[in-house]
Each structure stands twice: as structure tokens, then as C-alpha cells.
Amino acid sequence: MSYAVTNPATGETVKTYDTITDAQLEAAITAADDAHRSWSRSTTVAERAAGIRRVSELHTERRQELAEIIVREMGKPIGQALGEVDFAAAIYEYYADHSPDFLKDEPIQLLAGDGSAVIRRSSLGVLLGVMPWNFPYYQVARFAGPNLIIGNTILLKLAEQCPESAAAMHRIFLDAGFPSGAYVNIYASHDQIERVIADPRVQGVSLTGSERAGAAVAEIAGRHLKKVVLELGGSDPFILLSTDDLDATVQNAVDARLDNSGQSCNAAKRFIVADELYEPFLAKFTAKIADIEATDPTSADTALGPLSSLKAAERVDDQVKRAVEHGATLVHGGTRNGAFFQTTVLTDVTPENPASQEEFFGPVALLFRAKDEADAVRIANDTPFGLGSYVYSTDHEQALRVADGIEAGMVFVNVVLADGAELPFGGIKRSGSGRELGRFGADEFVNKKMIRIG
């Protein structure tokens, strides 16, 4: 395997990077372990939080440079790339502000006996992060931010197509004052990652990626009794039961589908519409999404760029063709031009169609007609995934009822693109386990040590 920046908009390989040698990998693990034994044990939570605050500031100071890197690496439209850098900065700032409170001792009310008891949170040690290409800064922020404040040290493997952003983040942590070994970027191979997970100095691993990658990492981690957090794929339902403004709801639906050129784990992907609204929604949604064309990601006006690579576009192309072969109706789109993929709408996707159980990682929307509320929930849950979901209803009680019935880690009611540093992110079923962001994201890789005093 090789690490390379290949611009999907042009096909040009901009720069290549060498995979780490086994000796360099051993040195990286040793440095992270040494940093945990020294730096993390000799600094306070407040001091480590101050370092993360500086990481936030450096993201803001370097936002243009950082954004341009990921436009080159994976074709993210520049406006969205700048937004990602800003969100990463906000996540670091959030944890700098709130981690001292999250890590305070937690008293336990004793049922019997004299004395007291407390939960004291402390670090576990070296952690491995295996992060994807679609949101490189954001993914690293939600993992590294809280864990460095906790006192864990980080080995970070970013996707092979993001070596430049990986190097830029490593430099930011050093420039923010973190010692060598606190945060270490590793250009590792898959075989080397297996060795990292197995290493007794490594105490846990967080992976965001595909089901296949998650299963592989979980198997290795389980064999070596390591804590794992997995954020895998999603095929999030967007349920529309009623609305006072169909045009606004359609715009929200389009926005929810096309975020990051449709390459977001928790993007709305399956649109489940009440029978009486289905035809008008289909017409308006198709017209709106058809107006959006994939164009140059360096332009500030671009809403949809190329997919992350030629291979990614070919994969989506194959999925659409297979869906149609199995009976789906291609209402709009379905055309690929290199790594650029046309916005696409599919209907008549039956439960027997493989498309009904797959994640489409691109600008492809599947529309379903629901007879009633119960049918909408049934369709929403007819998936192996359970990451996020969206419910639109003018009936508050109905919305909460449907939210309760959806099998997912997150439900957004009458709102899209509303992720926040304070809101826990994660799923169930084949979408993974564990949480990132918010208070719960700072409570995964922690020793919750019980201290009972007589």
C-alpha cells in the first residue's frame, strides 16, 4: 500500500509518502508509551486542556491552508472544507472548556457503612486511532481532543489518501506544545496496524470506517482484549410524515443528502415519505437535486464536488446499475464522468433489491412510499445499519413517538446538519458501538476507578 495525494478532480497524483518502516513504527509506539508514563502523569487536566485550546487556535489560524489540503486530497468543495476546519476547532475548544468538569471526581452515595466512595477518572495509556478520508480534521478532533486532555497518548493512522492533512495535524500538535509521543502520525500498512493493536502497550483503538474494516479491527482487538470504539457506515432514513412548508422540507432533504458530496456516514440516504406527500415530494426533490451539478471543488460556489477517488465513483456507479438491474426505477441521474458522479434519484427499491440493504456513499437518494406512521418506521428499521435518522412532522407527539421507534443512535427532528461538539455521535447495529463527541465521547477510553474510603 502507498500513501499519496491524488486529486480526484484532475486525476493528478500530487505527492507520495513512504509507508513507515517497522523500526519507525516501534519507535512511534515507544514514544507514545514513554509520553504517557512521563508527560501525562506530570501534567494536570488544566494544563493538557490549555494545549488543546492552542490546537483549536492553530486550526483557526491555518484554516485556509488546511482546507486547501483536503480539497486536493478528496475533492471536498472549498466552502465545506473551511467549514470542517472550523468545526474541528470548535470541538477542540469545547473539550478545552468542558473536560475539566467531565473529569471531576464523582461521589457515590453509599447504601451502608461509614466513609465515602468516589469514581476518579484517569487515562488508560496509548490509544490507536484509525480514521477515514471523508472528514479528516473533524474525525481526528473528536478522538484526539478529549483523549489527550484525559492523558491518553495517540497513535493516529489516517486514510492512505490523506497523508498531507495527517502531516499538517501532527505539526499542529507539536506547535501547540505537546511533547513528542503525545500525538504521533503513522503512515502504517494494514499489517502494521494489526501489530499495533496487538502490542501490550496499546490500550484501545477507535476506528471510523467501513463495516469490513470495523469487523477486522474488532476481531484483532477482541483477540488481544482491547477496548474498541467503532463508528461504521449508515443508511440513515429521512421520514416525512407532515410539513407546513414542503419546499423548505425538500431543501433540507437535499442538504442532508449532499453534505460532503454525499459522502457522510450520517447523511440522509433513504427518504421515506407518507403516501399523501410522496408524489409532490418526489417531483420537488428531483427537480431541486437535478439542478445541482458536480463541479470544480476549488470554487467557492461549488455545492457538489467529485467523489473522493475514481475508485469511489466506480463503486457508486456499480451500485446504481445493480439497483436498476434488480428493478429500481432511475428517476434522475446515474451518470459518471471520471470521479464526478451525477446527483441520482432511485425509486421502487424493493426489500429484495440489494440496494435496500446497502450504503450509497455518494449523491444517490432512494425514495420510499409509506402507507402510514407504522409503515414508515418499519421501512426505516429495515436496514442492517443504525447510525442516524431524521423525522419531519408537525405533530410533536408523533415525532417523539417515531423517534422512540427508530433503531438508531441519533434522531434529528425537523432539522438537518445539526451536529454539534456537545452532541454524542454514534450508532447501533452494524453502524458500530461507542460514542464520540459530547460528554459521552470523553468517557470511552477512561479508567473509571472506584475508590472506597472507610
* Cell 449532499 found at: 258
Dihedral of CA atoms 426, 428, 429, 431 in degrees, nearest 10, equals -10
- Tell me how far apart the alpha carbons of residues 131 and 152 are, in angstroms, rounded to a whole number: 17
Q: Between β-strands 3-6 and 13-17, what pairing exists: parallel, antiparallel or unpaired?
A: antiparallel
* Cell 489560524 found at: 61
- Tell me how far apart the alpha carbons of residues 273 and 281 are, in angstroms, rounded to a whole number: 8
- Cβ atoms 412, 418 nearer than 8 A: yes
- Cβ atoms 268, 238 nearer than 8 A: yes
Using alpha carbons, select from 234, 237, 230, 339 the residue that is nearest to residue 295.
339
- Cβ atoms 215, 432 nearer than 8 A: no
**Identity of the amino acid at 291:** D
- List the catalytic residues: 231, 265
